[in-house]
Amino acid sequence: MDMCPDPSETLPADDTGTETLRRFRYQALITLPFCLSCALGNEILAVIPEHMEDIALRYANSWRFLQVKSRNPETGLWTLNRLIGDGGALRSLYRTHQRTLAVQASLEVVLEGAYSPSNPIHHLRPGEDHSHPQLVGPVASALEIEEADAISFLARVVLAPRPAYRDEAEALAQQLLHQQAPNLPHDLVSDIYVRLVGRIEDAMRAEPIGPEWPSYVTHPSDAPDEYAQRIAAKTLNRGILRETISPIQAAPRVLLRRIGDAQVPVSSLERKMIVGGADKQLIADARSLRMNAVEHLERRMASEMFAEDERIEDLRERLLIHANSRYSLHSGAESPANQIWGDLMNHYATHAASIDPDRILDQDSLLLLGKLCDMSDECAFDWGSPDE
């Protein structure tokens, strides 16, 4: 089996800026779960990463095109204006849309970091109204297209749940590999991780396909010989990936199945709850409560009833102190997330007044639990692991 270089040595040939290198590595780590899923026999047949930001996933009868955008936290929340401005994700995806009209494909926006739930960007979430005027009007204007064309385009677009942050993405990638091979020596799994990241970055570093990449990728027989060779250099099919991760052969575990399936990527909150053995309904409840808490806090701040100051930090600390006490009781249970959740429901209801003395969340136990879910999405709280 070919050995790939250490990921620290596999850097883009022409991009030497530190920030560019971090973004390059981040895309490789976001790509890794899809590659692992493909190698182990999930529905993904091939992964094709472009030089920066674009990832294509090939299925038997469809495609997924992911536009990955990363940013530093100090640059603020994501907004629709950022997505439709120069270099924005929706501008790039619109070009992909135009070149993939003849194939069944989803177009997905993957954003590192948070966006304001009150911004029109939230209409791109799964299940939302993608034809909402607050979304369609600005997109049509920015792209200089008719609103009917904008509606057709946006019908194919989905905003993915928040992926891992750059500082967490490497830990997630390694966690997935170790979960798939709990009986293999740690050093061997670490070597496999190095090989797989190296293989992905080699594909990213291969000659870019350019503006025609979506159409050439979906119809390689139409591509000139030069571009066909570029596509081949970037294509990570099941055979290549299976060889790269050998001797890992186990069927994908539940977390990897959820990340690599034909749906949108899994958020940090959902990932942590899956690891903790949470059932699907509980995860859906957690997502809903988190959004309710975020929107409630946004409205409070917008009304200038209070500023985001030490009182919010005090609330966060109180939430964590109480949550950690319940975590310690259940973290090693068969399905710890279910146990922790049930305990916290009762605990927050009983102690809501002492946890939220400033009534930031109206001493509402469900909003308090929703805020804890938001903190979990920021990697401040886990939901246990049956293996602990």
Model pLDDT for residues 331-346, shown as the tens digit of each residue = 778 889 999 999 999 9
Q: Which residue, 235, 262, 289, sits at the end of a domain?
A: 262
Contact, 83 vs 119, CB < 8 A? no
Residues 50 and 159 in one domain: yes
Residue 367: inside a domain, yes or no?
yes
Would you say how long the chain is, in residues?
A: 388
Grade residue 8 by pLDDT with cuts at 50, 70 and 90: very low
Note the pLDDT of residue 386: 65
Q: Which residues touch 120 (CB under 8 Å, ≥6 apart)?
A: 80, 132, 134, 135, 138
Residues 211 and 305 in one domain: no
Note the pLDDT of residue 21: 85
> Number of C-alpha atoms within 13 angstroms, CB side, residue 164?
23
Note the pLDDT of residue 5: 40
- Owner of token pair 């990728």: 217
Strand bridging mode 236-237 / 157-159: unpaired
3-state SS assignment for residue 351: helix
Question: CA 155, CA 151: separation in Å to the nearest integer?
Answer: 6
Residues 202 and 316 in one domain: no
Structural domain containing residue 361: 269-377
Note the pLDDT of residue 77: 86
Structure tokens at 234: 């970037």
Question: CA 57, CA 260: separation in Å to the nearest integer?
Answer: 10
Contact, 368 vs 348, CB < 8 A? yes
Q: Which residues lie across from 308 on neighbouring strands?
A: none
Residue 103 has pLDDT above 80, yes or no: yes
pLDDT in tens, 124-160: 988 889 999 999 999 999 999 999 999 999 999 999 8
Residues 302 and 230 in one domain: no
Residue 383: inside a domain, yes or no?
no
Residues 168 and 294 in one domain: no
Structure tokens at 38: 């493909």
Task: Determine the average pLDDT of the residues in 92-115.
Answer: 92
Q: Phi-psi bin for 362: left (phi > 0), alpha (psi -120 to 50), beta?
A: left
Note the pLDDT of residue 6: 43
Q: Which residue, 262, 295, 323, sits at the end of a domain?
A: 262
Question: CA 294, CA 306: separation in Å to the nearest integer?
Answer: 15
Residue 388: inside a domain, yes or no?
no
> Which has more pLDDT, 333 or 216?
216
Residue 326: inside a domain, yes or no?
yes
Residue 387: inside a domain, yes or no?
no
Task: Determine if the pTM surpasses 0.75.
Answer: no
